[in-house]
Amino acid sequence: MLPIGITVLIITLTVLAAIRYHGNSNDGSTPAAKITPPTANTTTDSSSSRLPTTDIFGNRLETPADPGGVPLPQEPMLRPNPNRPDYLTAAPARMQWQRGWGGAALPISGSDGPTTIAAGVASGFADTPQGAALAACDAIARALSAPEELWRSVVHQRFLSGGAALTDRLASSRLETLDAATYVVVPEGIRVLPGYQPDFAVVQIAVRATGGWAYANWPMAWSDGDWRVRVPDDIESLWASAVPVTSLAEFGSWKGISL
């Protein structure tokens, strides 16, 4: 079973509960895409992309030439104003979701990162609430969808603590849900909790669930110049049930927004 924490991104509807979200149940009939190891890529624009497609819920996904994703040119001056009332839920500029391995939705912005994607690992997220949320969604998506030869590098570089126990737990989840990437969809809502600090943030990611939506908390720490998932001392808490909600009014929509 996928962790919902890890699962919650995976969304729901089906088997997942993804990384832990015990989600629900869907027929899981979406065919898996061919997995191709990515090569290191540099910042570019979407002109190298192919025709867009969608995730299993119809949310738009850009189709990059590399299934590991392609970063966008960064324009920091376009970042949300910290003085705006919805700063902790506001989406970054030129937000888009790219179709990664197996159809997974990978978050990419033109203001808050990532700046680099190499060997399947994204890095260079801004030290902002938006950067923290992007890094959380990215780490979850890649840990679940990256090819066998790459996902451990994602866990090693994008998760703090956990060690072998975390890797073993994720390996078990991936084996139990071979098509997990299909359920890594565009979130229904994202928010960073009040109390955000430049070195620590708690990101809440909401996905569809039976009767409404559900979210999981992802603690993020600024370490060595980037945001990384701060793995709890109790690793099993990542596989805990998501918190159900009946409204997304307090969450921001990040479903592909551009300026």
**Residue 212: its pLDDT value, please?**
94
What's the pLDDT band for 36 if we cut at 50, 70, 90? Answer: very low
- Give me the mean pLDDT over the 28-47 stretch: 38
Handedness of CA 44, 50, 52, 56 (dihedral sign): negative
Q: Which residue has the tokens 């260079």?
A: 124
Q: Is the pLDDT of residue 200 over 70?
A: yes
| Dihedral sign, Cα of residue 57, residue 46, residue 150, residue 159 | negative
Alpha-carbon gap, residue 143 to 221, rounded angstroms: 17
What pLDDT does 121 receive?
A: 98
Q: What is the pTM of this model?
A: 0.85
Q: What is the mean pLDDT of residues 204-228?
A: 96
Q: What is the pLDDT of residue 178?
A: 83
Q: Using a pLDDT cut of 90, give the percent of the chain over it.
A: 73
- For residue 49, the model assigns a pLDDT of 52
Quick check: 229 pLDDT over 80?
A: yes
User: What whole-number distance in Å separates Cα of residue 166 and Cα of residue 117?
Assistant: 23
Please determine, for residue 28, whether its predicted confidence score (pLDDT) is greater than 50: no
Residues 58 and 43 sit within 8 Å (Cβ to Cβ): no
**Mean pLDDT, residues 90-113 taken together:** 98
pLDDT at 93 over 80: yes
Mean pLDDT of the chain: 85
Q: How far from 195 is each of 109, 113, 163, 255, CA to CA, in Å?
A: 24, 22, 28, 25
Confidence of residue 239 (pLDDT cuts 50, 70, 90): confident
Tell me the C-alpha to C-alpha distance, in Å, between residue 103 and each of 32, 35, 126. 7, 10, 26
Please tell me the predicted confidence (pLDDT) of residue 257: 61
Burial 107-139 (b: 16+ CB within 10 A, else e): bbbbbbbbbebebbbbbbbbebbbbbbbbbbbb
pLDDT bin (cut points 50, 70, 90) of residue 41 is low
The stretch 195-222 carries a mean pLDDT of 96
- The length of the chain, given as a count of residues: 259
pLDDT confidence bin for 17, thresholds 50/70/90: very low
Distance CA 169, CA 2 (A): 9
Domain ranges in the chain?
46-245
The arithmetic mean of pLDDT across residues 205-211, rounded, is 93
Half-sphere exposure of 156 (CA within 13 A, CB side): 9
CA distance 59 to 221: 29
Q: Within a 10 A sphere around the Cβ of 30, how many other Cβ atoms?
A: 16
Most trustworthy range by pLDDT among 11-15, 135-139, 161-165: 135-139
